[in-house]
Each structure stands twice: as C-alpha cells, then as structure tokens.
Amino acid sequence: MSDRRPGRVAIVTDSTSDVPADEAAHLGVTVIPAVLVVEGKSYLDGQSFSRTQLYRQMASLDGLPTTAVPSPGSFVQAYEQQLRTGATSILSIHLAARLSGMVQTALQAAREFDGRVEVIDSGQVSLGLGFQVLEAAAAALAGAPLSVVRQVAQAARKNVRLIAMLNTLEFVRRSGRVSWLRANLGEMLNFKQLVEVVDGTIERLDRVRTRPRALQALRAVAAGWGALGRLGILHTAAAEEAAALGQELRPLASQPPLVVEVTTIIGAHVGPGSLGLVGLLA
C-alpha cells in the first residue's frame, strides 16, 4: 500500500521502466503507459495486447508495430493526482531522451506546476530505468527530501548496467534508431548481436554466431560487474531461458533477480527471442 503522508516526494515514471505493478503499488509509483500502434490502431501499453501475445503475433502482423509517447495531458493528469493526494514535490524519471521524446513531453507538462515537478532523463531503458525508479521510490517512501531522492536516482543511473542479446537485427533495423547497424547490416545478419545501453545510446559489445555462445558472453559480462545490489533478467518471449538465467546468476546479487518480459514498447523494436541482463552495482 502506498504512502499518502503530506509532504512526501512522489515518483512518476513511464511503462518502459518495466517496474512490476505490485512493486509500483507498494512504493506509490505512478506509471504512465506509453502508446503501442498495431495495424493502425493505438493501444495503451499493457492493454489489449499482452506482451507474450504481441511477440507471438509480430511475424504475422500486417506491418510492424510502432510506438508513441503519451500526450502531455497524460503527464499533467499523473502529476495532478499525486499532488492532490499529499505530495509536495514530484520526481519524474523516464526513458532515455536520446531514444524517445518521453523526457521532452514530461518537461512540457512539468512547466504547469511551478517547480513542483522535476524531470530526470534516466539514460536507460527497461529495468535500467526501472532500477533507478525503485531506488528513488524507496528513498521517498522512507521520508527523504527531494534533494536526497534525486541524488539516489542519479547514483543509480551511474551504477546501472544493461546488456542484451538481440535474437535478430531485423526489428532494430526497421526502427532506424541505430546508425551503426544501418552501416553494417549485411555483414551482421548471421550473428547474434550483443549490445549495451550507455547514456541513452545503444553500443556494440560483440557479435556471436550461435545463441548458446551469445548467452555465455552475457554471463561473462555480468560476472565482471562484481557485487550487485539488484539484478534483472529481461526477455521477449523467452521465459524459460530467462528463468534459467536468473537462477544461474542469483549469487551475483544481494536480492533475488527480477525476471520481466520486456514491455511491448521496447519489444516492438527488438523483436521476439531477445534476452538481456541489468545490474545495479552494490
């Protein structure tokens, strides 16, 4: 149950954070759904299309799904709701600005609230963003002032690591958001590409011919992170592999791994069968 004490700091994020609904409810986090466009129709993230359902249907859809940022009004409504229920300030933490217009839209909405809403660019996606949200929300729930909650979020951004194996490059190619992929697609088609998200950019790590070798490479990178406070396992329609990976890597973190099927908003760009790891350094 969320905290409604007067004077609290409220946390707002968007659905690309992949924060589980029960965690968001417990910590009092407001999650604004992004928009998924499938065959010309718009849906709020998490409604009408389950994550698993979308990934299973992507190959047969009439055109690839696309994504859109929520309207400024959705942010205004979220901020107003938190302020009505006792918050005196809001920290709004969102998907990397280099990958989306989410931060700019949040900033536009925040201007209506006379400095009571502060917007942060996470520089991350999925649980790379989500771990920043969870850390900040825990500090807010403990009664920390805005300045401290902001510092906690910024420290989490500095200490978060996200790597992923793209099962196919086709969906990322169509998204048009990775310049190095357009330049090298022909020579990379037969490889599993390993990538890392750093300050809102998708960087190449390695490319491996087989899936088992790619997963081994993910494990090796994660082992090199050292002690972790949090560990996340990401997947798009690869639940069994993700669960096994989480069990295997459990000793790396002080908390049980958080295994999530990635939001459709991100999955629409990476396609089914991808796996990723997110670590928050201890």
Low-confidence spans in the chain with pLDDT less than 70: 1-7, 170-190
Cβ atoms of 13 and 34 within 8 Å: the answer is no
Domain map (residue ranges) of the chain? 8-54+65-158, 160-281
Closest CA to 192 of 212, 171, 208: 208
Class of CATH domain 160-281: alpha beta
Q: What does 110-157 look like in DSSP terms, one character per residue?
A: HGGGTTSEEEEE-S--HHHHHHHHHHHHHHHHTT--HHHHHHHHHHHH
3-state secondary structure of 14: strand
Check residue 186 and give its pLDDT: 46
Structure tokens belonging to residue 247: 């069990």
Structure tokens belonging to residue 60: 């047969």
Check residue 72 and give its pLDDT: 97
Check residue 183 and give its pLDDT: 43
> Alpha-carbon distance 269 to 275, whole Å?
13
Check residue 104 and give its pLDDT: 98
How many angstroms separate the Cα of 155 from the Cα of each of 18, 100, 129, 144, 189? 19, 22, 12, 15, 37
> Alpha-carbon distance 125 to 200, whole Å?
8
Check residue 4 and give its pLDDT: 47
Termini Cα distance of the chain = 27
Check residue 30 and give its pLDDT: 98
Check residue 2 and give its pLDDT: 45
Fold of the CATH domain 8-54+65-158: Rossmann fold (3.40.50)
> Alpha-carbon distance 98 to 223, whole Å?
28
CA 162 to chain centroid:
10
Check residue 61 and give its pLDDT: 79
Q: What pTM was computed for the model?
A: 0.91
Check residue 189 and give its pLDDT: 59
Closest CA to 15 of 282, 273, 179, 261: 261
